[in-house]
Amino acid sequence: MADGLKQTLEVHVPAAEVDAEVQQAVAAIRRKVRLPGFRPGKAPAEMILRRYAEDVREEVVRKLVGAHFWKRAEEQNLVVASVPDITDVHFEPGQPMRFKAEFEVAPSFELKEYKGLTVSYQDPEVSDEDVRQRLEEIREQKAEYFNVDPRPVEDGDYAVVALESVSGISGPPVRQDEVVVRIGDPDTLPGFSENLRGLTPPAETQFEVSYPEDYGEARLAGQAVVFHARLKGIRRKELPELNDEFARDLGEHQSVEELREAVRRSVFFERQVVAQRAAKDALIDQLVDRHEFPVPEAYVERQIEALVERQLSNLAAQGVDPRTVRVDWEKVKESQRDRAVREVKASLLLSRIADAESIIATHDEVDREVNRIARQERQPAAAVRARLEKEGALGRIASRIRTEKTLNLLFEHARKTAQ
């Protein structure tokens, strides 16, 4: 355990309270069991206590240990950070009960100055070229695709292909009834463009495609896969004209100029969020570096588990079953220790600053976040709130809001310098 955070409590429970719990445990067992010669619920308490001594002991210890441990911890103003390790339990009906609890507590530390920190930041710039590129992206999103009469495929065409892998990968084959491949596009793997170019629907062919080592789908990365392909058709793309009618179709814009200004504001806001996030991360790093205090091992372990879970989720999102990956997860956990310690320290510091500044998440702020989630999931807000409440997620939402408000305060009071 971390230095200075290990605590031990020796707790005593009065005999009268022990006896009261013993009687309740015996009564509960007597109502459930049937003993020869006695009607249900009429067996003598002494007989129940003898026959079910271990059950009685387990129930009494369970109830009294938890209640008295937390009572003593509260009396001593201890912020318990780990599950207590209970040892040396002395239990005997008619006698006081004793036990020892070893656990970690949250650290106590002096909060140093957190306002007026210096951080590198400047508002982002948005050029006319940035606006042009974003407008082109919007046009691409609104593009329409038209089928083309059968002819040889050429660069710029969208080939509609049915694919099935023949060899080159382990596990089940890749089967796609309809995949659209843009011929000659830089983002299209060369093997597809080279082997589909010049074919006329409904041609069939077989060819090999080499996937790069950093390909997004793990089981294809670095593989040379042989595909059987059937060319089903050809499509051409048409982009809408950038004019006032196009702007009006997007809504809330009466002209192209209005649309350009809206796009400029949108790009600025997106970049500002990213830039401010980087500045806030830098402020957190400064705070952590300024404060030296031990952190509970229990907190660190939980944070390491969260980091590892994140990595497993990322693998699963890439279509990889984490159970099939040969990784020494103990080494992975150890490699995450330094990061976990810093993240725990950051969390403790931000919590202390929030306390000092009386920062809270209001009901309205939590409601707005619940409504945002409901819109995103296209579910009724009441149903989403009920689910989040059942999952215990409302508290986490409030905590995130409180943390973000604290970071905003740090950023607002920081001295910004140009990069």
Is position 138 within any domain?
no
Least confident of 272-276, 388-392, 408-412: 388-392
> Is it the case that residue 129 has pLDDT exceeding 50?
yes
The Cα–Cα gap between 303 and 273 comes to: 26
Residues 212 and 278 both lie in one domain: no
Examine the fold and report which residue of 209, 238, 267 is the final residue of a domain before the chain moves on.
238
> Is it the case that residue 181 has pLDDT exceeding 80?
yes
Question: Mean pLDDT, the chain, as a whole number?
Answer: 90
Residues 205 and 286 both lie in one domain: no
Q: Does the predicted model carry a pTM greater than 0.75?
A: no
Three-state secondary structure call for residue 164: strand
The terminus-to-terminus CA distance of the chain in angstroms comes to: 41
If you ran DSSP here, which 8-state letter would residue 212 be given? P
pLDDT at 395: 93
- Please choose, from the candidates 169, 164, 159, 166, the residue with its C-alpha nearest in 3D space to the C-alpha of residue 195: 159
Residues 305 and 402 both lie in one domain: yes
Per-residue pLDDT band for 343 (boundaries 50, 70, 90) equals very high
pLDDT at 288: 96
pLDDT at 1: 41
Residues 186 and 266 both lie in one domain: no
Residues 413 and 267 both lie in one domain: yes
Per-residue pLDDT band for 3 (boundaries 50, 70, 90) equals low
Residues 279 and 230 both lie in one domain: no
Tens digit of each residue's pLDDT (9 = 90 or more) over 358-388: 999 999 999 999 999 999 999 999 999 999 9
| Cis status, amide bond into 202, omega within 30 of 0 | yes
What CATH number corresponds to the domain at position 88? 3.30.70.1050
Contacts of 136 (CB under 8 A, 6+ apart): none
For the segment 89-94, the average pLDDT, to the nearest whole number, is 88
Beta-bridged to residue 119, according to DSSP, are 416
Tens digit of each residue's pLDDT (9 = 90 or more) over 6-42: 999 999 999 999 999 998 888 888 877 777 777 666 7
As for how many domains the chain has, the answer is 3
For the segment 56-63, the average pLDDT, to the nearest whole number, is 90
Tens digit of each residue's pLDDT (9 = 90 or more) over 153-179: 999 999 999 999 988 888 888 899 999
> Is it the case that residue 258 has pLDDT exceeding 60?
yes
pLDDT at 183: 93
Residues 93 and 203 both lie in one domain: no
Q: What percent of the chain has pLDDT over 90?
A: 72
Residues 202 and 312 both lie in one domain: no
Structural domain boundaries enclosing 77:
6-104
Residues 265 and 392 both lie in one domain: yes
CA dihedral of 70, 73, 77, 81, whole degrees rounded to 10? -80
Helix ranges, 295-378 (H):
297-317, 329-335, 337-356, 363-377
Residues 285 and 411 both lie in one domain: yes
Examine the fold and report which residue of 206, 238, 270 is the final residue of a domain before the chain moves on.
238
Is position 110 within any domain?
no
The Cα–Cα gap between 383 and 50 comes to: 51
Is position 402 within any domain?
yes
The Cα–Cα gap between 174 and 35 comes to: 65
Per-residue pLDDT band for 53 (boundaries 50, 70, 90) equals confident
The Cα–Cα gap between 230 and 203 comes to: 6
pLDDT at 252: 81
